[in-house]
Amino acid sequence: SLHYKYSMRIQRYQSQPVPSDRFKNKINRKYEAYPKFWSSYYGSHVEEFEFYEYDYVRVYGSSKIGNIINYIENYEKSESRVLEEDELLGVRRNFSIYVNDSEVTFTMTTLIH
C-alpha cells in the first residue's frame, strides 16, 4: 500500500518471518508501544500503537487514526506477544480452534516497519 507499511501472514506449517524468540513482551489486555522509527498510517504520522490481547492494533498520532484488525472466530485459546525493536514492531498471536472435532493451532503475525 502507498499509505502505510505493515504485513500480515496467517501460517500453518510455514516458517516465521521473524524468529519467535524476538517477540518477548506478553500482552495482558493491552500493550503500548512508541515506534523508534518514522511511521505513517494513511498519511498521518504515527506516535503510538496499542496492541490488544485478542484481535486488534489501535494506531494513534495526535489522536486516534485507525485500527488494524486481526480477527478469528471461534478460537479456544490464544497467546499474544509483541516485538519492539529500533526499526520493527510486531505482534504474534498463537490461536487454537477446533475444526471437525480436531484442535488446530496457527500463528498470525503482524509486522510494522
Domain coordinates in residue numbering, the chain: 6-112
Q: Which pLDDT value is given to residue 82? A: 96
Q: DSSP states of the chain as a string?
A: --S--EEEEEESS---SS-GGG--EE-SSEEEE--SS--EETTEEP-EEEEESSSEEEEESSSEEEEEE---SSEEEEEEEEEE-SS-EEEEEEEEEEETTEEEEEEEEEEE-
Q: Which pLDDT value is given to residue 2? A: 47
Q: Which pLDDT value is given to residue 43? A: 86
Q: Which pLDDT value is given to residue 5? A: 58
Query: In the structure, what pLDDT confidence band is assigned to residue 48 with cuts at 50, 70 and 90?
Result: very high
Count Cβ atoms below 10 Å from residue 79 Cβ, excluding itself. 14
For the segment 92-113, the average pLDDT, to the nearest whole number, is 87
Sign of CA dihedral 72, 68, 1, 21: negative
Q: Which pLDDT value is given to residue 88? A: 93
Does 46 have pLDDT greater than 80?
A: yes
**pTM across the whole model:** 0.79
Strands 89-99, 75-84: pairing is antiparallel
